[in-house]
Amino acid sequence: MGTLNFFPNKTLRIAIMVFSLFLLVAIDYGIRVLTSVYKKDLGNGVVIYGDDYVRSGLWVFDCKYSRAISRERLPAPLAELSVLETLTFGQMYYFNGRDVASAKEAITAITAVPEWHKDLQYIYSGVGATSGDIVSHKFFVLADHAGVKWAVEVSESLRLSGSARFVLTGRPYNPETYVDHTKAIEAAVKSCPAPQQGL
């Protein structure tokens, strides 16, 4: 009695399964592209989709800046900031060179005060261009320095390792123009071509 060889059939089954998987992924992506309402085209073929965030009912998506804003304000990373040993300053594009030095001086003085971070408030979150996942959060706290009220901002960048990197910026606070959590949601709602749940 001859030996049966199942190898060709097994190889064919594996090939069909792999092809089917790729086909399902391609169909899912195609449907997402064709039906997406909440998105930001960054150019060069990169599009950030926010539909899943909006559908969850937990987030609002900003179609202008590709931000996701949690409807419930997220807690600030107080424990991590309490042990932060050195400050890392981010780019402060809204200042000229001389004013950047003044801003850094103000931020350094404000953050030298014990528990300076305890009243940090959540503003919005950043969505990754390649992953579509939340990759950062932004918070701010108001503080006085040299007779000026400052909004000190903390950007928390999330790493794959689970750790975070913190970058600080700041600007004199103007309640009329400063974008806090409420204003971020209002701007996000206006930035997209369709309403978002409950707004």
Instruction: Give the pLDDT confidence of 23-47 residue by residue, as tens digits.
Output: 554 455 555 555 688 999 888 878 9
- What is the chain's length? 199
Considering the domain boundaries, does residue 27 fall inside one?
A: no
65 in helix, strand or coil? Answer: coil
Give the range of the structural domain holding residue 168, as residue numbers without chain letter: 39-191
Considering the chain, what percentage of its residues have pLDDT values greater than 70?
A: 82
Considering the domain boundaries, does residue 7 fall inside one?
A: no
Q: Is the pTM of this model over 0.85?
A: no
Check residue 26 and give its pLDDT.
47
Considering the domain boundaries, does residue 4 fall inside one?
A: no
Considering the domain boundaries, does residue 5 fall inside one?
A: no
Considering the domain boundaries, does residue 196 fall inside one?
A: no
Considering the domain boundaries, does residue 117 fall inside one?
A: yes
- Judge whether residue 10 has pLDDT over 80: no
Q: How many domains does the chain have?
A: 1
Give the range among 20-29, 154-163, 168-177 with minimum mean pLDDT.
Answer: 20-29
Considering the domain boundaries, does residue 24 fall inside one?
A: no
Considering the domain boundaries, does residue 93 fall inside one?
A: yes
- Judge whether residue 16 has pLDDT over 90: no
- Judge whether residue 127 has pLDDT over 80: yes
* Nearest CA among 101, 102, 110, 191 for reference residue 144: 110
Q: How many CB atoms lie within 10 A of CB 134?
A: 17
